[in-house]
Amino acid sequence: MAVKKTYVSIGYASFGVLMGFSAFLVWNVAYGQPWTAAMGGLSGVLALWALITHVMYLQDYWRTWLKGLKFFFAMGAFFCLLAVIAFFTFLSIAIHNKESLSDPRSLYLSSVWSFMTLKWAFVLTLSAHRYRKEFADISILSDF
């Protein structure tokens, strides 16, 4: 029996939630680096939204609430833009300050977590677009 692609996506998003929230806790408590913690936490939240999107697809909730998919698509696109700006900002500040790559308090790790945030925002946008496209024929029949 083959494993469905949606179940793999759920597992991947669950792992992303755990990694994002653990990064939030570690960089807040152990290292005291708020920017890395913020981007790790945002990455975890976007992974949670992607997880919710996949679970709601499996439970067939999107059929009756297509505006929710439009909202998740818009939020994913917004956070993609925000993550790209944050990535280049953290990277340029770290280069300008000549920070060490091995220092856990450097802004290089903030740029890494900005890239992870970009990845989860893109996954959220892509899955919302795919699920909305799948249910496009139903939206013609309903006015929800």
Distance of alpha carbon 133 from alpha carbon 6, whole angstroms:
16
For the stretch 3-53, pLDDT in tens is 688 899 999 999 999 999 999 999 999 998 999 999 999 999 999 999 999
- What's the full length of the chain, in residues? 144
For the stretch 60-85, pLDDT in tens is 887 777 888 899 999 999 999 999 99
Distance of alpha carbon 80 from alpha carbon 90, whole angstroms:
15
Which of the four pLDDT bands, split at 50, 70 and 90, describes residue 140? low
**Mean pLDDT, the chain, integer:** 90
Residue 132 has pLDDT above 90, yes or no: no
Q: Are 88 and 57 in contact (CB under 8 A)?
A: no
Tokens of 69: 């998919």
Tokens of 110: 């903030």
Q: Kindly report whether the global pTM for this prediction surpasses the value 0.75.
A: yes
Tokens of 61: 């909730």
Distance of alpha carbon 53 from alpha carbon 60, whole angstroms:
10
Residue type, 6: T
Residue 139 has pLDDT above 70, yes or no: no
